[in-house]
Amino acid sequence: MQAHNARSAYQALYTVFVIPALRQTSTCRLAIRPTLSIAPLYAQRSFSVSPVQHTKTRAPVKRTQKWDEEINAKVIQLVDPDTNLLLDDGATRTKYDVLNSIDRKTHRLVQHSPPLSENASCEERMNWIPVCRVVSKKEQYEVEKRKKVQSKERMKENLKSQSVKTFELNWAIDANDLQHRLDRIADFLGEGRRVEIVLAAKKRGRKATPEECQGVVKKIEGVVLDVKGATVMKNLEGTPGGFATMVLQGSVGSSKAGSASSVRDEGGAAENDMETAQA
């Protein structure tokens, strides 16, 4: 009887305290399981990587000549850098002997013969002996530098010759004012510029006579003759005494030092610098 009561008391305590605790523990485990199953997803997540930003660099200059080990020949002929004649009466030397005999820090071996064609036969490649020259790196750098400077100067001169300076003249212009503008036109032509002259009559001003109009045109043509290399690019187009245009072109070879800026003369004639390169 006592054993039965003890078992009943044990079951009552188990039902009241243990079972609720087990239920609470299983509930917590169920709540935790989703977070544990999500963890591997973070591990497999792909992250975006921003592209690496590189500094802007100029494209390398392609060389037309081969240097040092780039020369595809075992035997070469050397040229005297002073006389441009073959050394030792055209005697051949091995490329590696020449490379070992020079200071690679200050000098290099440069191939001057044009390269073989891609369709050259094996026999032609074996018998090919290119002409080479030992050059100073410093001197070669100075030569390339001078070429770049000359190239830039030629580009500036070409752009200058294509830029347009516009002058507006009145047919009945005063002789002193006309001479002042003609001097300015001569300066621009001397710099190799292109000059467009616009001739027109003032609405409320004095009308020029046919003789005066002819005299203005002759003086403009005289300026072209005075400037070496200048030409009339477009003859007078329009009506003398009315609206007319004329285009003059200076010579690049006769360019003067310095450049003239755009100005507005006291007589009221406008001078416009359009700086437009003609195609």
Domain check: are 233 and 198 in the same one? yes
Residue 132's nearest CA partner among 147, 118, 115 is 115
- Contact indicator for 269, 169 with CB cutoff of 8 Å: yes
Residue 184's nearest CA partner among 94, 259, 85, 95 is 259
Q: What is the distance between the alpha carbons of residues 172 and 211, in angstroms, rounded to a whole number? A: 11
The domain spanning residue 217 has which CATH number? 3.30.110.10
Is 117 inside a domain boundary? yes
Domain check: are 167 and 265 in the same one? yes
Is 96 inside a domain boundary? yes
Per the structure, the count of domains in the chain is: 2
SS3 label, residue 200: strand
Domain check: are 174 and 259 in the same one? yes
Domain check: are 210 and 241 in the same one? yes
Domain check: are 133 and 175 in the same one? no
- Contact indicator for 185, 197 with CB cutoff of 8 Å: yes
Is 205 inside a domain boundary? yes
Q: Residue type for 252, please?
A: V
| Cα→Cα distances 262→19, 158, 164, 212, 265, Å | 102, 19, 11, 27, 10
Domain check: are 246 and 212 in the same one? yes
Domain check: are 137 and 186 in the same one? no
Domain range for residue 194?
Answer: 163-273
Is 279 inside a domain boundary? no
pLDDT tens for the 279 residues of the chain, in order: 555 566 677 677 777 776 777 776 655 455 545 444 444 544 455 545 566 655 555 555 677 788 888 888 888 888 887 777 887 776 788 889 888 988 989 999 988 888 888 888 888 888 888 889 898 888 888 888 888 888 888 777 766 656 788 899 999 888 899 999 999 999 988 888 889 999 998 887 788 888 999 999 999 999 999 998 899 989 999 988 889 999 998 876 554 433 333 333 333 333 344 333 232
The pLDDT of residue 185 is 92
**pTM as predicted:** 0.40
Domain check: are 78 and 179 in the same one? no
Q: Which residues of 16-37 are buried (b: 16+ CB within 10 A; e: fewer)?
A: eeeeeeeeeeeeeeeeeeeeee
